[in-house]
Amino acid sequence: MLPDDAIAAREHAYSPSRWARDFEATLARQAGWGERLSQRHPPKRLAYGAGRLEGMNLFIPQGEKPRPLMVFLHGGYWQELNASAVDFMASHWLEQGWAFASMDYPLAPEASMEAMVAACRQGVEMLRRESAALELNGCFHLGGHSAGAQLALMSCLGEERLDGIESLFLISGIYDLQPLVGTYINEPLELDAERAERLSPLYQTLHGLPPLQLVHGELDPPAFRAQGEALKERATQAGVSAELYTRPDCDHFDILEYLNTSFMHFNHQ
């Protein structure tokens, strides 16, 4: 059991809101942008399971040709927010002729993290089965922010991994969950040391992953930046193509406002 001061230090290190300039204003601004985008460009609401949070908002660009797809998972430490938090990001992809799916997944404490990973895989597989009907060209990219980055990456690891993903677009992610054990962050997650390790991409075999595009903000918590750097190093050692970019003057939350297809250095078609 860690002493109280050590736990407090970890909670500070892994609490992005304490490092951001005004995260509540940022989230409100982004939600407003998403609402306005949905009004002028209504998405398709698709269900991939029976649960309330087993669905997604699929934005399809104008035109008739099949499109590449970005599937994106929101953050919120596996216990907050929903797909609408990242709807605003769709505008960047739509302008370039991409489809964009903001995906919901079940949250803690009602769902375990293992169930979240399984749900993300289920959602992508549904899109793959329906790709022709949805006028998608089969070129799928998977992304996520913060906790969503961990889920996206875990979805492509292990025996039940997703195949056929062109690249992973991981923003300000957390890839080692062990430091969260014993903190307030873990209370709804109920991770012990063994499960935290099993659900941490940094402790998994990374061979065979699709190319990684890693981005974090200059003002992200140092612990998050360090984990992104460690993931790049581990991936490179495993023979996985990985790039890491630091976006200047961005914190953990507003970084999402500066991301678009120009960061996708891999196959766009």
Q: What is the pLDDT along the chain (269 residues), one digit of tens a residue?
A: 678 899 999 999 999 999 999 999 999 999 999 999 999 999 999 999 999 999 999 999 998 788 999 999 999 999 999 999 999 999 999 999 999 999 999 999 999 999 999 999 999 999 999 999 999 999 999 999 999 999 999 999 999 999 999 999 999 999 999 999 999 999 999 999 999 999 999 999 999 999 999 999 999 999 999 999 999 999 999 999 999 999 999 999 999 999 876 666 544 43
| Joined tokens for residue 215 | 């981005």
- pLDDT for residue 1: 66
- pLDDT for residue 260: 72
- Answer whether residue 87 is part of any domain: yes
- Answer whether residue 115 is part of any domain: yes
- pLDDT for residue 63: 84
119: containing domain: 4-263
- Answer whether residue 82 is part of any domain: yes
With beta carbons less than 8 A apart as the criterion, state whether 49 and 81 touch.
no
- pLDDT for residue 261: 66
Cis peptide preceding 109, ω within 30 of 0: yes
- Answer whether residue 69 is part of any domain: yes
- Answer whether residue 268 is part of any domain: no
pTM of the model as a whole = 0.96
The domain spanning residue 72 has which CATH number? Answer: 3.40.50.1820
- Answer whether residue 269 is part of any domain: no
- Answer whether residue 18 is part of any domain: yes
- pLDDT for residue 2: 73
Please write down the HEC assignment for all residues of the chain.
CCCHHHHHHHHHHCCHHHCCCCHHHHHHHHHHHHHHHHHHCCCEEEECCCCCCCEEEEECCCCCCCEEEEEEECCCCCCCCCHHHHHHHHHHHHHCCCEEEEECCCCCCCCCHHHHHHHHHHHHHHHHHCCCCCCEEEEEEEEEECHHHHHHHHHCCCCCCCCCEEEEEEECCCCCCHHHCCCHHHCCCCCCHHHHHHCCHHHCCCCCCCCEEEEEECCCCHHHHHHHHHHHHHHHHCCCCEEEEEECCCCCCHHHHHCCHHHCCCCCC
Count of other CB atoms within 10 angstroms of residue 247: 21
- Answer whether residue 52 is part of any domain: yes
Structural domains of the chain, count? 1
- pLDDT for residue 268: 41
